[in-house]
């Protein structure tokens, strides 16, 4: 069987290599599929699907593995950014993703499997009483659109509304209003544009804008992370 | 002809009606209905305000209690307008109240404690708590008692008076919690290697938080072992599992690295030489 590399979109029967995992889709009868995920030669997950319209491999929020415990994602920048008083700039930042296998029937889908692409870590943002738990990721900064395999790219616009220099070392994102997009047939993933308005040297608010790349498709959000009807900004009150 | 005379002459037997001060009666009725109307309004306001931070049944009881107290005051006021003195009734009611107060002391105490618990909210359903030495998950908070299911699955009912007075340990109120334990290694083992093995296990665990940073240090050069203190923060919901996994993984990793976890040892010194007898 030919091994195929990771590409987002519709899945044909066969075997795919996804990071250190192998995902196998085999037809075992009419409208029946056997799905297996291997790490090395060991089967780590096996599912049988009865009745389906299409199967898709899509990038998904890094919130579902090893266990869903938070909506928040804290990106700590490997390179801190100094921003002059009253100025505005933009950069591109890595957003971690996992890979999900969706099975559809009449536009209704279920998440068959979520394949983690990196070692998960969590952090406390704020204090134990008033703060929040967030998924942690140490993110690189880019100055132009650079698709990264196994990651999503976010455009981050930074606006310093204070009268002093500020240093930005991290970004807190709520994954519910965050939207993940993919370019079908490629391994490119993106989020929408994020706007970080800095109100003081230690506080900011993060807004969620529109996509900044064309020819991309949004993923269907898993039930835990459906977009709220009213999208509010995310306040960063315990340091930026 | 005077109206009194007319009444007495034409309708004998209802003359007493004329003696009634109808204006006072009207004022008393006015006081009664206005008072009841205002009491109803107050009852509604109390219910609507309290239902925002109390369960519905408690809000309903509270608003009813206030309503009936107000109605009693209104009725007494209305009788007062009519010139009927209810002092005796009030005194009797007061004495009855004192008697009932003594008889229902614990009931009242539990009720009032329940109200304060709803106000203060030191715990909510689903919290894992320790109350008065009892550890369990809260399954019900009623006006008289709080019910928790112990870790062994047994239902424990604690009167609200006790809950109110007890020291409540509620880790569920915070989102992160610290795990704190000591790993003792033998003096023969390589302490630096042991430190690195422990650190690697700790940092590898997904639920050990990046911030606050894990704190691992030699705390004490003990009698039998070098004691390494491990302090890590984890999401409160994962505390129990992470603690189990960390201890087990550290034990396995230390064994694999050939690092000994000693048992308590003591060197005994005898002041005088020991005489040893051998049996043949």
pLDDT along chain B (280 residues), means of 10: 51 68 86 92 89 74 85 86 76 80 76 78 87 89 87 91 89 92 91 94 95 94 91 94 95 92 80 81
CB-CB under 8 Å, A69 with B210: no
pLDDT at A212: 93
Rounded to a whole number, what is the largest CA-CA distance in chain B?
Answer: 145
pLDDT at A200: 92
pLDDT at B1: 47
pLDDT at B5: 52
Chain B interface includes A116 (CB < 8 A): no
CB-CB under 8 Å, A120 with B206: yes
pLDDT at B34: 92
pLDDT at A142: 94
- Cβ atoms A221, A191 nearer than 8 A: no
| Element containing residue B161 per DSSP (H, E) | helix B160-165
pLDDT at B272: 84
pLDDT at B2: 53
Which residues of A fall within a CB distance of 8 Å from B235?
Answer: 69-70, 122, 133
CA distance A39 to A45: 9
Q: Say what the ipTM of the complex is.
A: 0.90
Chain B interface includes A68 (CB < 8 A): no
Give the chain A residue nearest B209 (alpha carbons).
A123
pLDDT at A7 over 70: yes
Strand order in the sheet with B215-221: B176-185, B226-235, B215-221
Q: For residues A98-118, give the mean pLDDT.
A: 91
Chain B interface includes A143 (CB < 8 A): no
Higher pLDDT, B235 or A7: B235
Which of A66, A128, A136 is closest, CB to CB, to B210? A136
Residue B71's nearest CA partner among B38, B95, B24 is B38
Which residues of B fall within a CB distance of 8 Å from A69?
Answer: 235, 237-238
Higher pLDDT, A20 or A155: A155
Q: For residues A18-28, give the mean pLDDT.
A: 88
pLDDT at B196: 95
CA B7 to chain centre: 69
CA atoms within 13 A on the CB side of B30: 7
- Cβ burial, residue B117 (10 Å; 0-12/13-18/19+): buried
Which residues of A fall within a CB distance of 8 Å from B233?
Answer: 124, 128
CB atoms inside a 10 Å sphere around CB A20: 11
- Cβ atoms B147, B157 nearer than 8 A: yes
């Amino acid at each position: 069987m030919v091994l195929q590399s990771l590409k987002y979109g519709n899945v044909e029967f066969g075997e795919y290599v996804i990071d250190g995992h192998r995902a196998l889709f085999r037809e075992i009868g009419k409208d029946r599929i056997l799905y297996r995920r291997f790490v090395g030669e060991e089967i780590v997950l096996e599912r049988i699907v009865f009745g389906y319209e299409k199967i898709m491999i899509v990038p998904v929020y890094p919130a579902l593995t090893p266990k869903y415990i938070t909506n928040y994602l804290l990106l700590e920048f490997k390179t801190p950014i100094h921003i002059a008083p009253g100025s505005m700039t933009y950069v591109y930042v890595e957003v971690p993703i996992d890979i999900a296998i969706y099975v559809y029937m009449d536009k209704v889908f279920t998440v068959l499997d979520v394949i983690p692409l990196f070692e998960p870590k969590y952090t406390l943002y704020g204090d134990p009483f008033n703060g929040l738990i967030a998924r942690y990721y140490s993110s690189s900064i880019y100055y132009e659109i650079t698709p990264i395999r196994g990651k999503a790219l976010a455009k981050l616009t930074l606006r310093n509304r204070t009268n002093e220099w500020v240093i930005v070392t991290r970004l807190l994102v709520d994954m519910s209003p965050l939207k993940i997009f993919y370019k079908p047939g490629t391994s490119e993933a993106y989020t929408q544009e994020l706007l970080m308005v800095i109100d003081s040297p230690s506080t900011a608010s993060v807004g969620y804008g529109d996509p900044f790349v064309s020819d991309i498709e949004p993923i269907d959000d898993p039930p835990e992370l459906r977009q709220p009807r009213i999208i509010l900004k995310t306040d960063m009150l315990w340091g930026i | 002809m005077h109206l009194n005379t007319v009444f007495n002459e034409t309708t004998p037997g209802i003359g007493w009606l004329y003696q009634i001060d109808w204006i006072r009666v009207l004022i008393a009725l006015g006081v009664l209905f206005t008072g009841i109307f205002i009491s109803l309004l107050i009852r509604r306001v109390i219910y609507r305000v309290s239902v925002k931070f109390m369960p519905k049944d408690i809000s309903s009881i509270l608003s009813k209690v206030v309503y009936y107290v107000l109605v009693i005051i209104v009725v007494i006021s209305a009788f007062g307008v009519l010139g009927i003195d209810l002092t005796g009734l009030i005194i009797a009611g007061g004495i009855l109240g004192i008697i009932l107060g003594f008889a229902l002391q614990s009931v009242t105490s539990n009720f009032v404690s329940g109200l304060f618990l709803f106000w203060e909210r030191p715990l909510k359903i689903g919290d894992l708590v320790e109350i008065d030495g009892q550890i369990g998950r809260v399954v019900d908070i009623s006006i008289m008692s709080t019910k928790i299911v112990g870790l062994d699955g047994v239902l424990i009912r604690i009167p609200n008076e006790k809950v109110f007075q007890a020291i409540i340990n509620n880790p569920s109120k915070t989102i992160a919690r610290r795990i704190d334990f000591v790993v003792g290694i033998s003096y023969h083992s390589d302490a630096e290697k042991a430190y690195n093995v422990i650190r690697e296990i700790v940092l590898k665990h997904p639920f050990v938080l990046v911030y606050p940073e894990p704190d691992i240090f030699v705390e004490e050069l003990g009698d039998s072992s070098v004691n390494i203190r491990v302090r890590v923060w984890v999401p409160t919901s994962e505390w129990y599992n992470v603690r189990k996994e960390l201890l087990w993984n550290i034990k396995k990793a230390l064994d694999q690295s050939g690092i000994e976890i000693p048992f308590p040892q003591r060197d005994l010194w005898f002041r005088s030489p020991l005489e040893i007898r051998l049996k043949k």
